[in-house]
Amino acid sequence: MLTSCSSQKICSWIVSWCLALQHLAVQSSLLCIFHLLLLPTLPQEPPHAQTTSNLLARSLFACGISTALQTTLGSRLPLVQIPSFEYLVPAMVLSSHLSPSVSTDRNGTAMASTCLVPHCRDTGSWADSLQEVSGAVLISGLIQLVLGVSGVCGWAVRHCGPMVLAPSLSIIGLSAYKEAAFFCSTNWGVALLLVLLAVTFSQHLQSCRLPFCAWPHAWEGSTDYSAPTLRTFSVLLPFAGVCIVCAILSYFHVPWELLDVTMAQLSWANSTFNAPWIQIPYAGEWRWPLLTPRALAVGIAMAISCSMNSVGCYVLCRRLLRVPRLPPHACNRGLCTEGLGSLLAGLLGTPGGTASSIANTCATGLTQAGSRLSVQVSALLCMVLGMSPRLAGLLTHIPLAVHGGVLCVTYAVAVGTGISYFQYTDIDSGRNIFIVGFAMFMALLVPRWFSTALAPLATGWVPLDLLFLSVLMAPVFLTGFLSFFLDHTVSVCFRDSGYILLISDLSSVWYESVDAEAVGQRSKELNKRLTVHVSSFLNHLCNLMCPLLAGQPGATTAFSCHHSVSGLRLHVKSELSGLPFYWDFHCCPAPLEMVVRHLVRPLIQMNLALQCQVQELISLLLQKDAEIEDYRESGATLSRDRLRTKPFREETFQENFMAERAVEHKPGIG
């Protein structure tokens, strides 16, 4: 007979396996979404069902290994690894560029269209396109590894305040609304059923517990053994239930899925699978990744966007699980393990790397089941499925509407978490309102503009076009960059003899320079009950303002900003020695010399550095053309026409890179 402790251990392991299945369900849905959106953009015919199941198996295998590394050697947070949307957009840009013409589907996403004119050229098969995308994934893994080893990720986490985290996390959640609506449209009833069940289980019935069912390792010291069952499995139970309902309807030939031409192209419902039961993936089996300048450009964009997504995912996981702030070295280790996972994925020939899953992290927050053991078990299941293309192919039978429902339930949590960070900012400040609104609006506007623009981005060099397009179509990059840049354009200097404050919103520049005598006089007017030496007063003011200007105000600090014709007034309210503390900064427009020294000169130096880099790039390209010409004169020929490159035209590049920008910014007359 089993003892009470033994039964609790057995039940705890059962809960761990069920949580692992829940992570696997969300992970499988995101993997299917990634391949469903990417494969139709490939040139010529998309790969058949057996190839698709092999791609899914390889992705599962790479994600399983990356998840195991992340939870043991990386950040050690319960983070599942998947090919995120930050890999999808650059991969679609690269694969769509290989086709003669590009159109836009109803989802606002770039899709490859069939060439209908007689003079179109053949751009290669889908296998060649996948080979080049895998090369971009390999390059992104190398760059992520360098960023992690160099400590850039930890530095970014340390310098990102609420004014950066709030809009970034919100946009990470909002960036999936198009895909969610796209897949839900196959059957809104099925998608809404999944959403309704998930909301009911996680919110209304969250206190429902299953007796004698313990959390993983709960017997080691926790007094709360039983698990809130419906909340804990508020994603798995709706997912499984809706899939069973759809299977029953399909068995009785009840039409329930509405597929138009676009949806029918994406659906795998009528696919037949003849993939092998056992096939262990290894590097080079599919074909080695193709490293080209285009792959290099797209790989850089993948690395930048995915690194920013991973930083947001670390913060999101910490916030949802209410754990202490992650140290910088843990973030660096996490990014290194993601880079290793992307390296493995690229060598295996998959079209996507590995990044921390926002959906799985949000599901963890929704269920409040942050067990690292269950994530490690799900990693084991991923590796097992990855070694069986036949079993991996079964994932393609998940209804499309279920994918949309999963996106609705999970990414909504990311939006709410981002909004919750606004409580740590002075949202009444005009400065903060502008930063948040501008960053979020541009992050939604710019990708939409590029996806519908009639004239494609053209700088004269295709890899540079792909780099700009891939980066500018990533909402997480735009939000993070704009909010970080705008939030850190305020500089301040405090010293014992006074202080100098310099503030800019990229439209105007204000400053205030106050000596010790003026500080003492103003302190007597604003704080009549306080008697503090000026040096101590300035030290307290420095300790108060530096975190505030960095976007991390204290709990007792209030901040407001008032514009006027004559200048800018900043009002600060806090506490000093248990008494209320007030201070006003009276800023006036900065003189030209100060603007030049602190703003114009740094920008000029950046421009000169950029020009030097451009000249180095031009010299390398000209050297490349000279070497190719030498090979051609010696009698060498290309074996593949698709590897042929056009000679680099320095004049054309300079005109497109600089002259057109000047025309765009030339003021009009009228």
Q: pLDDT band at residue 258, thresholds of 50, 70 and 90?
A: low
pLDDT of residue 661: 52
DSSP state of 655: I
Domains along the sequence of the chain with CATH: 4-100+127-487 (no CATH), 491-590 (2.170.210.10), 609-664 (no CATH)
pLDDT at position 367 over 70: yes
Q: Which has more confidence, 391 or 11?
A: 391
* 443 pLDDT more than 90: yes
Which are the contacts of 27, defined by CB distance < 8 A and separation ≥ 6? 63, 80, 82, 357, 359, 360, 378, 382
pLDDT band at 99 (very low <50, low <70, confident <90, very high): very low
Q: Tens digit of pLDDT for each residue in 594-610? A: 888 878 888 888 888 88
Q: What is the pLDDT of residues 326-345, one digit of tens each?
A: 888 899 999 999 999 999 99
Please write the tens of the pLDDT for every residue from 462-520.
888 889 989 999 999 999 999 988 887 755 555 556 788 888 776 788 888 887 777 77
Cross-strand partners of 102: 112
Using an 8 Å Cβ cutoff, are 119 and 137 in contact?
no
Cα 3 off chain centre by = 47
User: Would you state the pLDDT for residue 307?
Assistant: 92
Angstrom distance (rounded) from CA 163 to CA 64 = 34
Span 44-87, pLDDT tens digits: 655 555 677 788 889 999 999 999 999 999 888 999 999 988 89
The 10 Å Cβ neighbour count of residue 402 is 25
> For a pLDDT cut of 90, what percent of the chain falls above it?
27
Task: Please give the mean pLDDT across all residues of the chain.
Answer: 79
> DSSP labels for 566-619?
S-EEEEEEEEETTEEEEEEEEEEEPPHHHHIIIIIHHHHHHHHHHHHHHHHHHH
pLDDT at 114 over 60: no
Alpha-carbon span 237 to 405, nearest angstrom: 13
Q: What is the pLDDT of residues 508-533, one digit of tens each?
A: 888 888 877 777 778 878 877 776 66
> Can you give the pTM of this predicted structure?
0.68
Tell me: the pLDDT tens digits for 369-396? 888 899 999 999 999 998 988 888 888 8
- The pLDDT value recorded for residue 660 is 54
3-state SS record for 235-261: CHHHHHHHHHHHHHHHHCCCCCCCCCH
Q: What angle do CA 111, 466, 147 make, to 5 degrees?
A: 115
pLDDT of residue 491: 54
Tell me the C-alpha to C-alpha distance, in Å, between residue 573 and each of 119, 207, 555.
70, 41, 11
**Those residues with Cβ within 8 angstroms of residue 252's Cβ, 6 or more apart along the chain or in another chain:** none
Angle subtended at Cα 460 by Cα 658 and Cα 303, rounded to the nearest 5 degrees: 95
